[in-house]
Amino acid sequence: MSILKAFAVWQVYAKGLDMAITSDQLKEILPNCKNPTDTTDAINALLDQYEINTTKRVAGFLAQCGHESAQFNILHENLNYNEDGLVKVFPHYFTSAYASQYAHNPEKIANRIYANRMGNGDENSGDGYMYRGRGAIQLTGKDNYTRFAKDIGKELADTVEYANTLAGAIESACWFWKQRNINDTCDHDDIIGMTKKVNGGTIGLEERTAFYNKAKHVLGAA
């Protein structure tokens, strides 16, 4: 048994958490998750710290993270765009003539599109790439990494490395969840409200709703 799994089991049985999930349940909810065992271990070790500890809260968390991370398979921002992609997705930053200098260079792309915002320095600072999106609900920008680091008691550089791990990817999503008080929205069974807090709109609502309803069924919500 892994250390993380042993810790998760100890939390559930020694501390009497409201609920935990199994890897089989996770696989039923998110059938394309490639690493259900380790993902479940990390979830069980972390969710209670952020009061994601009832059926509807866990269902909401799994539904939103499941959509945002392609079922916990994509935990880092993909910035490998070609020229056409850059112009289409980031028209404010790239013209057709200019995009060729950045195409297929994720570091340069991140440093440009994230420069001078979210606490990042200018394009030459490297902050855009350093603080690019990571996690099951992608943590982005130096300000957010700094706040997350403070709340979990880590140095900023260590937090960046932690966010590259599975546990860090899930904990950063938990932190985001708590910051936006999404537990309360789950308590009201409001999938649209959850989605707006996570996404800023309702992109992907159909899949999020399907995951949410499936999770509630599998986990036994009343």
pLDDT digits (tens, 9 = 90+) for 140-181: 999 999 999 999 999 999 999 999 999 999 999 999 999 999
pLDDT band at residue 6, thresholds of 50, 70 and 90?
very low
Q: Using CA atoms, how far apart are residues 141 and 130, in angstroms rounded to an integer?
A: 8
Q: What is the mean pLDDT of the chain?
A: 92
Residue 152 within any structural domain of the chain: no
Domain extent for 170: 3-75+166-219
Same domain (yes/no): 68, 33: yes
pLDDT of residue 97: 87
Does residue 155 belong to any structural domain of this protein?
no
Q: 71 and 87 in one domain?
A: no
- Is residue 25 located within the same domain as residue 65? yes
Does the residue 209 lie in any domain? yes
Q: Please determine, for residue 193, whether its predicted confidence score (pLDDT) is greater than 80.
A: yes
Kindly state whether residues 14 and 119 are assigned to the same domain: no
Determine the pLDDT at residue 39: 98
Name the band, by pLDDT with cuts 50, 70 and 90, for residue 217. Answer: very high
Please work out, in degrees rounded to the nearest 5, the angle formed at the alpha carbon of residue 199 by the alpha carbons of 160 and 60: 90
Pick the closest to residue 218 from 36, 78, 95, 51 (CA basis).
36
Q: Which residues in 59-77 are b (16+ Cβ under 10 Å) and which e?
A: bbbbbbbbbbbebbeebeb
67 with 89, same domain: the answer is: no
Same domain, 8 and 50: yes
Same domain as 38, residue 9: yes
**Per-residue pLDDT, 8:** 47
Task: Specify the CATH number for the domain of residue 67.
Answer: 1.10.530
Token reading at 66: 């499941």
Residue 140 covered by a domain? no
65 and 108 in a single domain? The answer is no
pLDDT above 70: percentage of residues in the chain:
91
68 and 7 both lie in a single domain: yes
Q: What does the pLDDT look like over 100-118, one tens digit per residue?
A: 999 999 999 999 999 999 9
Residues 61-75 have pLDDT tens digits of: 999 999 999 999 999
Q: Residue 56 pLDDT > 80, yes or no? A: yes
CA 50 from centroid of its chain's CA atoms: 14
Q: Is residue 58 part of a domain?
A: yes
What pLDDT is stored for residue 1 in this prediction? Answer: 47
Asked if 69 and 93 sit in the same domain, the reply is no
Q: What is the pTM of this model?
A: 0.89
- Give yes or no: residues 57 and 13 share one domain: yes
Domain membership of residue 118 (yes or no) is: yes
In a domain, residue 65? The reply is yes
Same domain, 52 and 95: no
